[in-house]
Amino acid sequence: MEAIVSLAKRRGFIYPSSEIYGGLNGFFDYGPLGAELKKNIRDCWWNDMVRRRDDIVGLESSIIMHPKVWEASGHVAGFTDPLVDCKASKQRYRADQLFFAAVVVDGKTVGYVSALESENTAGELQTAAEALKRKKAIQGTLAAVAPRDMTEAKPEEIELIPSPATGEPGSLTAPRSFNMMFQTNVGAMTDASSVAYLRPETAQGMFVDFKNVTDTTRVKLPFGIAQIGKSFRNEITPRNFIFRSREFEQMEMEYFIHEDADWAKCHEEWIAWCENWLKSIGLPETHLSRYAHPKEKLAFYSKGTVDIMFKYPFGVQELWGIAARGNYDLNQHATASGKPQDLFDETSKKKFVPHVIEPAVGVDRILLAVLCAGYAVEDVTDEKGNTEQRTVLRFSPRIAPVKVAVLPLLKNKEPLTNRARALHAKLQRRYAVQYDDGGAIGKRYRRQDEAGTPWCVTIDFETIEKPGDTFTLRERDSMKQRRINEAELFALLEEQVY
């Protein structure tokens, strides 16, 4: 992760927000390459999800909505995480990410240990338990630790559990609910009547505008409404770079189906669609897996949720959640607003409230996944037998921030630079391309490898001296070179960048 974070900063993908003021925890800026990469992810999703389908329409709803939306949706009462404070260090923890275990020697509890959730929480707790036994010079057999998180701590245990910040017990508080919605005030008054929220998800926009869409377009069930936009959550512990941040971007789609439709089949189809889409932007199948939420952990209205998980360097984590939500949301808004959210069934001549399948994913989490999956450092040997290291980002051409770099072999030979400029200008009308004439050609290739550019074309003497107007095309992954003309280059791009 450290290498990826540092490359992301060095090459202008991602910067800490407001860095000159020390940064702001949980907020990030996307630099020139990052902004392109993010836009490409969004565009690929929008094209595949909305434009290339006849059954899905797009929406852009406002970030600040009527506060009643969030009462009806359940967010005001229930969008909370359990929070634990350390009174000594002033650190805050998410109770479900702070683990502890009793240290049991010969069947007797002799103390407690704690650790923050990691790839190896149980191992860390076991090591801490052994250390505590040694420190207290207790003889006997240490039992294997049984990790629990702080939401499972009994009241009498809480003051015995050491804070991860100080290593001492006595400073942790009991878990309490913390609402993650950011509050603001609308208008000049700052009293209770003006309170509003920054949306914690984009999904409610689709429910609230359900009737607007069905009344103003010709959509027929089954159909979907899709939206891309910023969401905000006051996460207690933002972490793992852009994986969990406080301002992030979501791509969500609500797929409405008849109340009698086979929801399980539709759910499965959408899970498969999402997996295929992730593969289409270059994520390897080996890094993807599924996690079905156990029935007893689902919200009462939920029929099922499956998360597509990604193997990040810090562990296997949720990337995309696909939830079958019944018709809970539309019903909630119908009750709260007094406006029916139903459709008329021509066959049964009855009104009904559609059910919904919701695939919801974060753009930033996808971007982090493609950075992690694409990152490689490898030894390469040149024609002279010299070995050196190259860093490469193997982005799919679909999402690569720069598609082609145009390189004149020499910077001060006009026939070369004129041809290179002309090609660059022509490519620029359709694609994100870069013109680079600085330094040795090998150096320029390395620069583009680090930016994840799939192809470099070099305008060399053969281009201007021999017939055919061909350039050297150099492929990022194989590093192979071949000659190609302009028409062939455009055909290659047309096929690979879509």
Query: Which residues contribute to the site for ligand ATP (CB under 6 A)?
Result: 201, 233, 235, 244-245, 248, 250, 318-321, 360-362, 364-365
43 or 318, CB closer to ligand ATP? Answer: 318
Looking at the Cβ atoms of 201 and 436, the one nearer to ligand ATP is 201
- Shortest Å distance, C-beta 368 to ligand ATP: 9
Q: Which is nearer to ligand ATP, 332 or 463 (CB)?
A: 332
Give me the least distance between CB of 280 and ligand ATP, in Å please: 18
**Considering beta carbons, is residue 128 or 203 the nearer one to ligand ATP?**
203
For the CB of residue 187, give the shortest distance to ligand ATP in the complex, in Å.
Answer: 28
18 vs 89 by CB, closer to ligand ATP: 18
Helix (H) or strand (E) holding 355: strand 355-362
Q: At closest approach, how far in Å is the CB of 252 from ligand ATP?
A: 7
In three-state secondary structure terms, 317 is strand
Spatial CA neighbour of 70 closest among 271, 264, 231, 311: 231
Query: How many angstroms separate the CA atoms of 308 and 319, rounded?
Result: 6
Q: Which residue has the tokens 């950011």?
A: 182
Question: What's the min distance (Å) between Cβ of 360 and ligand ATP?
Answer: 4
Q: Hey, how many other C-beta atoms are within 10 angstroms of the C-beta on 421?
A: 16
The answer to whether residues 353 and 330 touch, using CB atoms and an 8 Å cutoff, is: yes
Q: Closer to ligand ATP at the Cβ: 227 or 472?
A: 227
Number of Cβ atoms within 10 Å of the Cβ of 129: 23
Nearest to 207 by CA among 54, 322, 353, 51: 353
Give the whole-angstrom CA distance, residue 421 versus residue 433: 11
Under the phi-then-psi rule, with left for phi > 0, alpha for psi from -120 to 50, and beta for the rest, what region is 6?
alpha
Q: Provide the 10 A C-beta neighbour count for residue 263.
A: 19
367 vs 459, which CB is nearer to ligand ATP? 367
Q: How far is the CB of 363 from ligand ATP (least distance, A)?
A: 8
As a whole number of angstroms, the distance between CA 456 and CA 444 comes to 9
> Side-chain half-sphere of 17: how many Cα atoms within 13 Å?
12
Least Å distance, CB 285 to ligand ATP, is 19
Residue nearer to ligand ATP on the CB measure, 365 or 476: 365
Q: Which residue in this structure is represented by tokens 């689902």?
A: 298
Contact status, residue 113 vs residue 172, Cβ threshold 8 Å: no
Beta bridge partners of 321: 307, 360
Q: Give the residue from 116, 114, 136 showing the smallest Cα distance to 126.
A: 114
Least distance from ligand ATP to the Cβ atom of residue 304, Å: 14
Find the shortest distance in angstroms from Cβ 251 to ligand ATP. 9
Q: State how far the Cα of 33 lies from the Cα of 99, in Å rounded to an integer.
A: 38
Decide whether 226 or 459 has the Cβ nearer to ligand ATP: 226
Give the nearest residue (CB) to ligand ATP. Answer: 362
Contacts of 166 (CB under 8 A, 6+ apart): 86, 88, 89
